[in-house]
Amino acid sequence: MVQSIIRVTRLLLPVLALCVTLGVMIRAFRRRPAHGFGHRPWFLFLALTLFGVMIALCITNETWWTEPLTLMLFIAFLAVQWMSFVFAGRGGMRAELTGFFLTDLGLMVAALNDTGAFHTQLICVAAGIAGFYILRFFLRNPAFMEYLRIPAAVCCLGLLVACLIFADPVNDSKSWITIAGFTFQPSEIAKVCYVLAAAIPERKRGGFKELLIFTVFSAASVLCLVVMNDLGSAVVFFCGFLAAAAMRKWGYPAAAAGLLAGGGGGYLALNLSGRAAGRFATWGKAWEFANEGGYQQTRAMAAAASGGLLGLGVGQGWLRDVYAASTDLVFCVICEELGLIVAICAILMIFLTCVQAVFAARRGRSPYLVSCACIAAMILAIQAALNALGSVDILPFTGVTFPLISQGGTSAMTCWWLLAFTGTEFMPAFHAEEEEETPSEEEVEEE
């Protein structure tokens, strides 16, 4: 009976993932209605709920008799999804759909890897969802959020400097700080602060002085990450800088100069960091170093290929036994156990988040909200690309986490906060200025 359920879920999971992804794609490319903000996607959210239930059934087969609390907590998380859906506004649930879909996969990875890690992951996800709605509330007032730019910049640099001073080296990287037995990664929280600080202000839109200060701030942030030997996060911050610079006046020359400086700095960083240089040395040649520098990638590619389109089934893969499989190689874990279809759907969900941010830039009235959405979407997209393509040896293997899927409480929490920025373009407040500036029919007739 149990094996029959597993076979059914193995077939249904890719179908439900495709339904959710196609539904989000249609909503992303659909033009906003002239009046109101659309209707709640009942069918789409029902497919997402069934997707979570199927994963819960698979987890039941693996952990019910040993850890029944894991299944109960997963079901409680599905209930939270429905609560957010019921109380969401008519135009909501665009960013939330992406977040819940990826979080379902992330909780599955954590539950099958380590029960304690699953509980920690779920607590951090709850904090991330709470912060998501708090940020959404305050982002309704862009003028208030602009006053937080300087405190956010100070907080961003403070977190990175704290890593340099207090963090203990782990794998030659000073990225983790432990306080009272709780370990967290300040550079992940710094991403949210960077988005708030790097966004284009309303009052000083495109000024050269503002561009210079922004460039110096970004360079200091990237430099701190390079000194910490966290080159993956340095690349993510650098791409966020390029997105923010391109939207400013004189931004394209600044972005071009940043590319040149970033290329030179990257070359120096590779010469100074033996671990990073070793990873770049095996880039594109993982199979030639299958038992050395390419050990993780070769195993990941073999496991992903064995999964096929539908996967071997939840908990049936062997890649989980390889070091850092639940973090750095999580994309290939999804390919192996759930199949290539579900893994591609996860990539598409991140891509659709970027599409929504680009559409916001085309029709939005608040430069601050537009730039927040684009910078946050760029950070999420680069993280997903580095994780997925790095694990299969298309890009250098940097160890960057996949948003909301990779195991890691700090990463999951901050990714939910970043999603809050990408969802602001669909709030009524985002178009408030547009509605105020729209001339009436009488004014049009007089003209």
Q: What is the pLDDT of residues 249-301, one digit of tens each?
A: 666 676 676 677 666 666 666 665 556 666 677 777 888 888 877 888 899 99
Closest CA to 258 of 214, 220, 215: 215
Lowest mean pLDDT among 62-76, 229-243, 294-308, 407-421: 62-76
Lowest mean pLDDT among 98-107, 145-154, 257-266, 343-352: 257-266
Residue-averaged pLDDT of the chain: 79
The whole-number pLDDT of residue 131 equals 92
How many residues can be counted in the chain? 447
Lowest mean pLDDT among 77-91, 354-368, 405-419, 427-441: 427-441
If one compares 31 and 216, the residue with the highest pLDDT of the two is 216
Determine the average pLDDT of the residues in 404-423: 89
Helices (H) and strands (E) in the chain, counts: 19, 3
For 199, list phi and psi in degrees, rounded to 5.
-65, 155
Beginning with the edge strand found earlier in the chain, give each strand of the sheet holding 173-179 in spatial order. Answer: 168-170, 173-179, 182-184
432-446 CB burial, b ≥16 within 10 A, e <16: eeeeeeeeeeeeeee
Q: Which two tokens stand for residue 278?
A: 């070793």
Share of the chain above pLDDT 70, in %: 77
Q: Is the pLDDT reported for residue 430 higher than 50?
A: no
The whole-number pLDDT of residue 285 equals 81
The pTM of the full predicted model, rounded to 2 decimals, is 0.87
Q: Is the pLDDT reported for residue 414 higher than 90?
A: yes
The whole-number pLDDT of residue 105 equals 92
The whole-number pLDDT of residue 69 equals 72
If one compares 202 and 421, the residue with the highest pLDDT of the two is 421
H or E stretch at 48: helix 42-63
Burial of 213 (0-12, 13-18, 19+ CB in 10 A): middle
pLDDT class of 243 with cuts at 50, 70, 90: confident
The whole-number pLDDT of residue 31 equals 55
Helix, strand, coil fractions of the chain, as percent rounded to 5: 75, 5, 25
Q: What is residue 23's three-state secondary structure?
A: helix
Alpha-carbon span 277 to 286, nearest angstrom: 14
pLDDT class of 157 with cuts at 50, 70, 90: very high
Lowest mean pLDDT among 147-161, 279-293, 372-386, 421-435: 421-435
Determine the average pLDDT of the residues in 202-216: 73
The whole-number pLDDT of residue 155 equals 94
Ramachandran bin of 36, using left for φ above 0, alpha for ψ from -120 to 50, beta for the remaining angles: left
